[in-house]
Amino acid sequence: MPVIKARTRGKHIVRHIARLDRENLETLFAYAMFLSEPPDYVLNQVIDTLLARDKEFTAWREQHPGPHAPRVTGRKLRGRARHASAVHAIEAAQAVRQPASAVHAS
């Protein structure tokens, strides 16, 4: 019988990149295959299930409410967005370098 609960819909999912021990990665993917669920679902359920059992931690969380994850200050641009941003920056730099008469003439 699986330890992990059935999938819950409607949760807000965020991306987090982590490094795992090779053995844990293999176990994660094996368990995901066993459940026919994606590995990120398995990780979320492991955290929900295991940490809910830690009474000392749940008491600490009650005493320390609020967000604990680091804030994301900026987002890296990818693909076309990065290209468009770079083109805009180049055009802005060129406009600054041009003499005032050249800017007004165009």
Q: Could you state, in order of their start, the residue ranges of all structural domains in the chain?
A: 1-68
* 3-47 tens-digit pLDDT: 777 676 778 888 889 999 999 999 999 999 999 999 999 999 999
This prediction has a pTM of 0.57
Q: What span, in angstroms and rounded, lies between the C-alpha atoms of 40 and 28?
A: 9
